[in-house]
Amino acid sequence: MPSIFLNDINVKFIVDAEMTKTIKSTVAQFLRPRKTTPRIVHALQSVSLSIRDGERVGLIGPNGAGKSTLLKVMARIYPQNGGEALIEGHVCPLFEFITGFEMEATGWDNIRTRALLLGISPKEIENKIEEIAEFTNLGEFLDMPVRCYSSGMLLRLAFATSTAVDPEILLLDEVMAAGDAAFIQQARKRMDHLMKRASIVVFATHSLNVLPSFCERTIWLDHGRVMLDGPTPEVISAYERSILIRQ
């Protein structure tokens, strides 16, 4: 059963790492120490939460609240400093669509590479590739290197491929669809399907109005801390009140 269990997770970034970024500067620092206390950003501070199979969870909060960092801990990209993170199930992080794209390679090649990276098996890819190609609506452009594509075409290709996965745990970070109006319609539908297929969805967003239709539960983060974790309407209204008060 896919599940996410985080207990007392802390993530710190050291901001002034430049002093020892190279061997040269490290030796210089050693020979003639310059007193600096490195600034540390606590991106997450003792975050504890658990997400069970079947849950759809929204993540909200201002910029720099730690939403992306939290997703990256769940995706096992960032290690935590202390605390424990137990993540069961195949995680599919969709933070952006374009990683793994090679401009010189053809559309077909890029579909295969990107799909492999997202954890689709080579056999499954062959089953799905027709459907992906059809959704991109790119026709014979798929035989050309993607450097010839317009940014809209590239987005179609990347989006179609990325949303072909069957993830157990789906992590989304402010996914916005660009492209022409017809594509946005199609894209939204496809995204809905994808979110329904996944056992667990965690979804970081700023668009509070779409959240209630996707997620029954929402977590509000601020300065790396969980401010509130509960049913979406409650959390959203609390969050909106806090914004009003600040203004």
Partner 1 sequence: MEQTTNRKVFEEVIQAARLWPIWLRIGLQDIRMRYRRSAVGVGWIFINLAIMIIAVGIVYGNLLGQELKEFLPFLTIGLISWGYITSSIVEGGNAFVISEGYIKQIGLPIYIYIFRFLVSITITMLISLPAYLVIAFIYSVQFGLGTLWALLGFVLLSIVSFLMIAIFSHLNARFRDASHIASVCLQVMFFITPIIWPPEVLRKRGIDWIIDFNPFYHLLEIVRRPLTMSEPATFINYIAVAIFIILLSMIAWMFTKRLSQRIAFLL
What is the contact surface with partner 1 in residues (CB under 8 A)?
13-14, 20-24, 26, 72, 75-79, 81-82, 91, 93, 95-96, 99-100, 102, 104-105, 109, 112-113, 116-118, 121-122
Nearer to partner 1 by Cβ, of 10 and 242: the residue is 10
CA–CA distance, 235 with 238 (Å, rounded to integer): 5
Nearer to partner 1 by Cβ, of 124 and 222: the residue is 124
**For residues 125 and 115, is the Cβ–Cβ distance under 8 A?**
yes
What the block records as the tokens of 73 is 């801990």
Q: How far is the CB of 113 from partner 1 (least distance, A)?
A: 6
Nearer to partner 1 by Cβ, of 116 and 228: the residue is 116
Nearest residue to 171 (alpha-carbon basis) of 86, 77, 98 = 77
Q: How far is the CB of 95 from partner 1 (least distance, A)?
A: 5
Nearer to partner 1 by Cβ, of 36 and 121: the residue is 121
Q: How far is the CB of 246 from partner 1 (least distance, A)?
A: 31
Buried b (16+ CB within 10 A) or exposed e, 18-43: eeeeeeeeeeeeeeeeeeeeeeeebb
Nearer to partner 1 by Cβ, of 7 and 113: the residue is 113
Q: How far is the CB of 213 from partner 1 (least distance, A)?
A: 27
Q: How far is the CB of 182 from partner 1 (least distance, A)?
A: 28
